[in-house]
Structure 1
């Protein structure tokens, strides 16, 4: 290589190097139970090991017994190598959708479950990620939190493809779990129904509606999460107050109801926040 070409190559590498992601220790799935997937335009993508956020377990989550049982059964079937479904957890904010995923990992990581979180903006790299996991001996939940798309957002096509749109589909050791405030992941407007028509007595949706439903339909397990009623909210408040080693009595109950009224919400998240406030104030 002549001197001029060598100098140009060195200069080019110097310009590219700052654009490359920093080095991270290689993932060791025997040790690491959770990771973040970060797409990069030059490096393709990387897995960054992360520690679990907390030690919450399924037993700690109050008021969502049906959802816990359904998701646990589905995940245990997956770990055992039996047929299982991709899962969409949708519903009101703060009702335990994200917490139940973290709890699953904490409870089942010893049985070979691993979790990889993918941000919506990195979904374009999802096919590359699942291909990388194909030959691993562990069972992976690829997790998309608070997932939703705008009408002009085409990133959802990568998710559709991985779920059920390619010849091969995802490997048998990978499932997709997603949480969302939207049942169909996309905004639904009244104008979408203008193309709906009746044909031989049957209701046929227009293309806009069919396109939006087609994504959520690829999740075989739908779990709905709703705001708590007053009794369930108080049960959750009592649990978390005692969890934080506080006292639960008539005054605490009254303050919990006042807290929910002022916030305008009754949920598991609100119950935890009340408990932190109540116990933290030394009441």
Structure 2
């Protein structure tokens, strides 16, 4: 092998170890993007999976607060990072996507960028890519949580608050989680019982959730709210069914699932629409 061939192989190996920075995204390609690491790039999402904001029921307070915060952000006014936490299937991620869709209709130019939890170590590179862009960006992480010995949260702490560079002015961070402090309660108790300095051990981890300016709680819905959700879907998509039959079928569906939530309501409506030959 010649010296030139050796140099070429070394150069190729170095490029693999240190790939070139991601190219500037074509923001005109879509309203939403998904961030992928290794190699770093933003993938356009031409069709966002979301429901209209007016179809989300039982979460009026959270809806109004997040909508107001997002409008402030798009207008260049102060806005907070938001943590949407609480019961499964109650519309946390649906609300983020619906609010984005509603604000885009009012003020075009707002982009939604989703980052997966496992890609959080690359968030610094993503923010360098977003910093200075003319577009306003909601950076969204769904189902954010951390388990024992999970160090991903450290990548996020300085971004939310306290780092030298901090969060870019054109970026706001929204996350959803089933846990208010982003970690299991037994993990918090274990830290208290085993650490040399229990309060410091817990503080290190729960301080991440404190860096969200907005905490929006989502709680399990009652039967009336569950039925209201389904009726609103029927009215919006033109599924004709009397209240008595709807109630009986919806309650039976809920009983087979052992739970009531916005997700269960949508799953029942999907089945109902299919049986009535209605596309959604």
Q: Normalising by structure 2, what TM-score?
A: 0.87
Q: Does 1:76 align with 2:85?
A: no
Matches within 5 A, 1:130-169: 130-169=127-166
State the Cα deviation string for residues 73-96 of structure 1 (Å, max 9, x = none).
Answer: 011111111111000001111100
Question: How many Å separate the matches in 1 of 2:36 and 2:120?
Answer: 9
- Corresponding residue for residue 51 of structure 1: 46
- Corresponding residue for residue 125 of structure 1: 122
- Corresponding residue for residue 167 of structure 2: 170
C-alpha change, 1:28 and 1:261, in structure 2 (3 Å) is same
Q: Secondary structure at the match of 1:206?
A: helix
Q: Does 1:7 align with 2:2?
A: no
Matches within 5 A, 1:185-196: 185-189=182-186, 190-194=189-193
C-alpha change, 1:259 and 1:166, in structure 2 (3 Å) is same
Q: Does 1:233 align with 2:231?
A: no
Q: Conserved in 2, the CA contact under 8 Å of 1:242 and 1:248? A: no
Question: How many Å separate the matches in 2 of 1:223 and 1:137?
Answer: 28
Q: Conserved in 1, the CA contact under 8 Å of 2:24 and 2:129? A: no
Question: How many Å separate the matches in 1 of 2:221 and 2:258?
Answer: 12
Q: Conserved in 1, the CA contact under 8 Å of 2:113 and 2:138? A: yes
State the Cα deviation string for residues 159-196 of structure 1 (Å, max 9, x = none).
Answer: 11101131221111111100011111122223344489
- Corresponding residue for residue 251 of structure 2: 257
- Corresponding residue for residue 29 of structure 1: 27
Residue 136 of structure 1 deviates from its aligned partner by 0.7
Consecutive unaligned residues of structure 1, counting only runs of 5 or more, are 197-203
Q: Secondary structure at the match of 2:27?
A: coil
Q: Secondary structure at the match of 1:169?
A: coil
Deviates more, 1:144-153 or 1:104-113: 104-113
- Corresponding residue for residue 239 of structure 2: 246
- Corresponding residue for residue 201 of structure 2: 208
In the alignment of these two chains, the number of paired residues is 269
State the Cα deviation string for residues 24-64 of structure 1 (Å, max 9, x = none).
Answer: 99632134211111122xx4x21111123335221121111
Q: Conserved in 1, the CA contact under 8 Å of 2:29 and 2:46? A: no
Residue 10 of structure 1 deviates from its aligned partner by 4.5
- Structure with the larger helix share: 2
Q: Secondary structure at the match of 2:28?
A: coil
Q: Conserved in 2, the CA contact under 8 Å of 1:195 and 1:206? A: no
Consecutive unaligned residues of structure 2, counting only runs of 5 or more, are none
Question: How many Å separate the matches in 2 of 1:77 and 1:36?
Answer: 24
Q: Does 1:114 align with 2:111?
A: yes
Please list every run of at least 4 consecutive aligned residues from structure 1 whose deviation after the TM superposition is greater than 6 angstroms. 13-21
Question: How many Å separate the matches in 2 of 1:161 and 1:25?
Answer: 24
